[in-house]
């Protein structure tokens, strides 16, 4: 499964930033999430998973002592390497469900718009393993579940339409099948030994059908 996902993301990498912002509706949603990251305190030794083209990496680097920016797709990582200049960032291919990092290696782990593409149980177990006790897990979760009625229908159609016409690559079977509501994510975090310390809904207000991002911070207890 990981191979099919890796190949999909590598094929769409060059188009990703343009298409994802269309899918969310409000082109500023990811920028708003990035602004939220910029308000974090010091993040210590940080691992970023699914860094994509490195959209969040520079701001994470400005808050962290050291960043290991990782992604399943070598093509995505290549774009991130070209775009990120910060000297405290290294890049490597990693599957966040099963990484090569030692136990308790990091103070912070960041996953931006990634967890629903993975088996959340495996990813959270891995995050628990690699974080120090008291370490922070930050998840930017796609908040499709927060939309209701016609807004939700519009958002789903826009996501599919922009994905199909923008990427023009068939997604692997079971793609994005683990989309979670904020409550489902918080409950799961509890099951994996994390205490949720804050949740914030970030949404561009240009249209009611814009897809929000839930910015969830949790601590390993």
Ligand X SMILES: C[S@@+](CC[C@H](N)C(=O)[O-])C[C@H]1O[C@@H](n2cnc3c(N)ncnc32)[C@H](O)[C@@H]1O
Does 5 engage in binding with ligand X (CB under 6 A)?
A: yes
User: Three-state SS across the chain?
Assistant: CHHHHHHHHHHHHHHHHHHHHHHHCCCCHHHHHHHHHCCCCCCEEEEEECCCCCCCHHHHHHHEEEEEEEECCHHHHHHHHHHCCCCCEEEEECECCECCCCCCCEEEEEEECCHHHCCHHHHHHHHHHHEEEEEEEEEEEECHHHCCHHHHHHHHHHHHHHHHHHHCCCCCCCCCCCCCCHHHHHHHHHHCCEEEEEEEEECCCCCCCCCCEEEEEEEEC
Closer of 122 and 133 to ligand X (Cβ) = 122
Minimum CB separation of residue 39 from ligand X in Å reads 17
Closer of 114 and 150 to ligand X (Cβ) = 114
Closer of 142 and 147 to ligand X (Cβ) = 142
Minimum CB separation of residue 104 from ligand X in Å reads 20
Minimum CB separation of residue 193 from ligand X in Å reads 21
Candidate ranges 60-68, 95-103, 155-163, 195-203; the one touching ligand X (CB under 6 A): 95-103
Candidate ranges 83-91, 107-115, 156-164, 188-196; the one touching ligand X (CB under 6 A): 107-115
What is the Cα–Cα distance from 97 to 196, expressed in whole angstroms? Answer: 20
Does 21 engage in binding with ligand X (CB under 6 A)?
A: no
What is the Cα–Cα distance from 79 to 76, expressed in whole angstroms? Answer: 5
Among 21, 40, 71, 214, binds ligand X (CB under 6 A): 71
Does 143 engage in binding with ligand X (CB under 6 A)?
A: no
Does 117 engage in binding with ligand X (CB under 6 A)?
A: yes
Among 118, 136, 204, 209, binds ligand X (CB under 6 A): 118
Among 25, 112, 120, 163, binds ligand X (CB under 6 A): 112
Does 144 engage in binding with ligand X (CB under 6 A)?
A: no
Does 212 engage in binding with ligand X (CB under 6 A)?
A: no
Which residues of this protein are in contact with ligand X, per CB under 6 A?
A: 5, 9, 30, 49-52, 55, 71-73, 76, 95-97, 112-114, 117-118
């Amino acid at each position: 499964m990981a191979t099919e996902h890796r190949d999909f993301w590598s094929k769409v990498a060059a188009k990703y930033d343009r298409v994802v912002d269309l899918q969310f509706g409000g082109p500023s949603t990811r920028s708003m999430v990035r602004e939220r990251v910029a308000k974090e305190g010091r993040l210590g030794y940080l691992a970023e998973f699914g860094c994509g083209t490195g959209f969040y990496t520079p701001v994470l680097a400005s808050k962290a002592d050291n960043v290991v920016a990782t992604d399943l797709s070598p093509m995505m990582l290549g774009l991130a390497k070209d775009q990120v200049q910060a000297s405290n960032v290294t890049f490597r291919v990693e599957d966040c469900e099963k990484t090569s990092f030692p136990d308790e290696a990091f103070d912070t782990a960041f996953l931006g718009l990634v967890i629903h593409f993975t088996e959340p149980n495996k990813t959270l177990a891995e995050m628990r393993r690699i974080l120090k006790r008291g370490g922070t897990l930050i998840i930017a979760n796609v908040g499709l579940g927060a939309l209701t009625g016609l807004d939700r229908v519009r958002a789903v159609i826009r996501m599919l339409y922009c994905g199909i016409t923008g990427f023009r690559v068939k997604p692997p079977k079971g793609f994005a099948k683990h989309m979670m509501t904020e409550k489902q994510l918080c409950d799961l975090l509890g099951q994996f030994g994390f205490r949720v310390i804050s949740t914030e809904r970030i949404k561009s207000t240009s249209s009611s059908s814009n897809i929000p991002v839930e910015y969830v911070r949790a601590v390993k207890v």
